[in-house]
Structure 1
């Protein structure tokens, strides 16, 4: 018995040591920053950046990694202190619940081993989160609320138009105030149960991508096997999301699913992090026809920052993607959609946002257009469409 207890003690000690060591190592590998700064821009660009009233980004997966985002990190791309350093007003924090082994942009199977299971165990998460996608979604929602509660009214969880208006007013008198919204990356988190949609809505989620890297109960992924459109369950979910006032995110959806959603949705959609095929011809990116349809529905398109969405070098291609959407359907449909902390290498972290302003100035964008891209479009979209 004594040997058994010693053995169990050693195993437990090794496990808890692993929970301290492994998650940071994994995140360092999965979320590199190509240029860690400091990020220096021209006096003109910095002056305009400092004068921006509202800066917003539509996609960040920081909740996945187990970092305390109330503390300034030495890894990853986003946390609350770096949001404040960047004078960011609103960040969409997206919940990842499953990713396939050997994840790629072309072809993934739904039954591939799930990377997130290992991460849940390595992080020391409750066993209830080890195998339940729904529990993972609810747990990450609670994590964000806990982080916000620690901020003593200098951080807002935005769930409604009133919440957003309070954030806007609070930031006028206190620049340290920041806002956060919750999204989910992939409707597989619902585990095929329509009742779970209301559960995540009640947990604060206001945006959900229908698919991620593989096909699920809702339909086909742009990176899956079938490339099919909405299933009957997917149609049911879209209808309920419209009723609840939850935004549909078309990032990662198959072209057929994009068309099906746009044919039936009664509300504007979001593409939270994407590129455009005119800049990088990838099945992950939006065609001109899709961009036109999204704009015709009053939607908004977040341009991603990583090479598999925009190509390399990233920054000029980010600007080229924004310019293409502007020229095709209008500046009001363009937004930042970084995919920070999303298992991607990015050219800069959130404190590098002034580099975008400088590049936009150099490309001839007007001050009004730059303000729109950097956050005014997101603010106005949510003021119009949040309940």
Structure 2
């Protein structure tokens, strides 16, 4: 019995040490920054950046890694202090609950080993989260709520139009006040149960990507095996999302799902993080036809920052992708959708946002167009469409 107790104690110590060492190591390997801060831009670009009233990003997976977002991190891409340094008003924090081993842009099986399971265990999360996608999702939602509560009024969880208006008004006198919204990357998190849509709504989720890297109960992924459209369950989910006021995110969806959603949705859609095929011809990215249909829907498109979506060199291609959408359907439909902390290498962390302003200035964008892309479009979109 004594040996058994000692063995259990040793295993507990090993597990405790692993929860401290393993998640930070994995995150540092999965989310590198190609150019480390600090970043510098021209005086003109910095002056314009300093005049921006509202800066926003539509996609960040920082909640996945178990980092305390109220503290400035030495790894990853986003946290509250770095948001404040970059004067970012609003970040969409997206929840990843499952990721297939061997994840790739071409074809992934829903049955592949799930990379998030060992990470969940290594983070020391409750055993209730180890094998439950919905529990992982609700846990990450609660984590953001807790981080915001710790800020004691310096951060706002935006769940409705009133919350957003409160954020906008508060920042007029205190620009250190920041906002966070909750999204889900992949509706497999609902586990095929429509009642779970109500649960995530109550938890504050206001955007859901219907698929991620594999097919699920709602239909086909752009990187899945079926390339199918919406299932009957998928159509139920979209209808109820429209009723509740949860935005449909079409990132990672099969072309057939994109068509199906645009044919039935009663609300404007979001593509939270993507590239465009005119800049990088990938099944990950939007065709001109899709961009035009999304614009007809009054939707908004966030341009991602990583090379699998926009190619290399990243910064010029980010600007080229923004320019392509502007020229095709108008500046009002394009925004930033970094995919920060999403197991991607990025050219700069969130404090490098002034580099985007400099890039757009060099490309001939007007100040009003730059303001629109950097956040005014997102502010207008949510003011018009949040409940």
What's the TM-score, normalizing by structure 1?
A: 1.00
Deviation sequence 1:293-344 (CA, Å, 0-9, x none): 0000000000000000000000000000000000000000010000000000
What SS does structure 1 have at the residue aligned with 2:353? helix
Residue deviations 1:25-64 (CA, integer Å, cap 9, x gap):
0000000000012100000000000110000000000000
Q: Residues 15-26 of structure 1: matches in 2 within 5 Å?
A: 15-26=15-26
Q: Which runs of 5+ in 1 are unaligned?
A: none
> 1:66 & 1:244 partners in 2: Cα distance?
29
Aligned to 2:89: 89
1:265 correspondence with 2:273 = no
1:114-193 matches, within 5 Å, as 114-193=114-193
1:343 — aligned with what? 343
Matching of residues 337-376 of structure 1 within 5 Å:
337-376=337-376
- The aligned runs of 1:207-286 (5 Å cut-off) are 207-286=207-286
Task: Provide the aligned C-alpha RMSD in A.
Answer: 0.3
In the other structure, the counterpart of 2:320 is 320
Instruction: Provide the aligned length of Structure 1 versus Structure 2.
Output: 387
In the TM superposition, what is the alpha-carbon distance from 1:119 to its structure 2 partner? 0.3
Taking the aligned partners of 1:26 and 1:293, their CA distance within structure 2 comes to 39
TM-score between the two structures when normalised by the length of structure 2: 1.00
SS at match of 1:339: coil
Residue 74 of structure 1 aligns with which residue? Answer: 74
Structure-1 separation of matches of 2:24 and 2:194: 35
State the distance in 1 between where 2:137 and 2:37 align: 33
Within 1, Cα distance between the matches of 2:50 and 2:83?
14
* Partner SS state of residue 384, structure 1: helix
Q: CA deviation at 1:175?
A: 1.1
Q: Which residue does 1:101 correspond to in 2?
A: 101
The residue number in structure 2 matching 1:32 is 32
Distance in 1 (CA, whole Å) between partners of 2:369 and 2:84 is 23
Gaps of 5+ in 2: none
Q: What is the distance in 2 between the residues matched to 1:94 and 1:172? A: 27
Structure 2: distance between partners of 1:135 and 1:38: 38
Distance 1:36 1:67 in 2: 19
- Give the equivalent residue in structure 1 for 2:309: 309
SS of match in other structure, 1:361 = helix
SS at match of 2:33: coil
- The CA distance in 2 between the partners of 1:266 and 1:310, in whole Å, is 30
The 4+ residue runs of structure 1 with deviation greater than 3 A are none
State yes or no: 1:11 paired with 2:22: no
The whole-number CA distance in structure 2 between the counterparts of 1:332 and 1:90 is 18
In 1, distance between residues paired with 2:154 and 2:322?
31
Query: Aligned equivalents of 1:313 and 1:363: distance in 2?
Result: 15
* Alpha-carbon distance in 2 for matches of 1:317, 1:114: 32
